[in-house]
Amino acid sequence: MKTEKRNKNGKNRLTRLMRVLHRDLGFIMIGLTIIYSLSGISLIYRETAFLKKERQITRTIEPNMEIEELGSALHMRNLEIVRTDENIILFNNGTYNKSTGVVEYTSNELPWWLSKINSLHKTSTRSPLHWLGIIYGTLLFFMAISSLWMFKSGTGLFRRGITLAAGGAAIVLVILFV
């Protein structure tokens, strides 16, 4: 005698629940996935000028900074010093006046909307946005697992799905470790 609870269609309740959740959460996740994928693709090109516009910036920072401090004060990772004078430091895309603290440089920046979207990928635990990343990651994990309930176990489609899932994991592992 079977102890499984069955609905009138003959499918057990867990299978039905997983299918309904998979479908409904999938529709919700379409928007999230589109935004995250556009952000991820644009981040691949973050070290290029792709989609960026040049902007001239003039600001005042602390005077008499050392060359080593200048890059972190300007939030520039690849600051290259071209020449230094008594009062002027010339770097790869601007100048710094040591006596006044005035910095003039050009910066390549993404459009504001894409910069905002990219911040989703760059959140830290200090940002309230990190919860969105955790929720999205959890939903993706659930979608992957719940897809196992889409086909009856033991069928050819189920075996094919498991084989393809294993193949996807193997591709990532090969790319990472080879």
Q: Are 61 and 115 in contact (CB under 8 A)?
A: no
pLDDT of 48-93, one tens digit each? 888 899 999 999 999 988 878 888 888 888 888 899 888 899 998 8
Q: How confident is the model at residue 15 (pLDDT cuts 50, 70, 90)?
A: confident
Maximum mean pLDDT: which of 14-18, 39-43, 164-168:
164-168
- As a whole-number percent, the residues of the chain with pLDDT over 90 amount to 40
- The contacts of residue 88 (CB under 8 Å, 6+ apart) are 95, 96, 97, 98
pLDDT at residue 169, as a whole number: 94
pLDDT at residue 70, as a whole number: 87
Long-range contacts of 62-66 (CB under 8 A, 24+ apart): 62/101, 63/97, 63/98, 63/99, 63/100, 63/101, 64/98, 64/99, 64/101, 65/96, 65/98, 65/101
pLDDT at residue 154, as a whole number: 87
pLDDT at residue 57, as a whole number: 92
Integer Cα distance of 97 and 69 in angstroms:
14
95: nearest Cα among 111, 84, 108: 84
pLDDT of 96-148, one tens digit each? 999 999 999 998 899 999 988 888 888 889 988 889 889 999 999 999 888 88
Q: How confident is the model at residue 1 (pLDDT cuts 50, 70, 90)?
A: very low
